[in-house]
Amino acid sequence: MLTFRFKTALLIDDNDVDAMIHSRLVKNSCFAEEIIIKYSAIEALDYLSKRLFASQAFPEIIFLDVNMPLMNGFDFLTELDKFPASVWKETKIIMLSSTIHKEEIAKIHSNPKVYTFICKPLTALGLMKLM
């Protein structure tokens, strides 16, 4: 019997190859039983709105790409404030980016909603550190 760390993970990434690789890694490492993939922050917010409307729990963990078109990861975090804190405050948000800019990394670490930052690509070692 497989034991999963989390029931549901939400992966938000505009790059379909990264999303596919990361979702397989999360599933194969037994990190999350169910992986929901959304290819934009807007699509993810719509998904979360529907869950809220249906009184369904938010994912326990969100892997959030920083750099996406139309709405980036920081904009997503701002929009998350429009949801009642009671529904997302237990959700761990992991920001993913290939950035090497110290200012952006500092901005990620200074955001109180962000649990941690992982430099892309997500790896098995990165997931083990989260556990």
In percent, how much of the chain has pLDDT > 70?
98
CB 64 within 8 Å of CB 73: yes
Q: What is the pLDDT of residues 44-73, one digit of tens each?
A: 999 999 999 999 999 999 999 999 999 999
Phi-psi region of 56 (alpha: psi -120 to 50; beta: other; left: phi over 0): beta
Average pLDDT score over residue span 110-122? 90
Query: How much is the mean pLDDT over the chain?
Result: 90
Q: What is the pLDDT of residues 14-24, one digit of tens each?
A: 999 999 999 99
Q: Name the residue among 8, 36, 40, 14 with its Cα closest to residue 23.
A: 36
Q: Is 122 helix (H, G, I), strand (E, B) or coil?
A: coil
Go through the domains of the chain in sequence order and give each one's CATH number. 6-130 (3.40.50.2300)
Relative to beta strand 6-12, strand 92-97 is unpaired
pLDDT of residue 1: 43
Q: pTM (2 decimals)?
A: 0.92
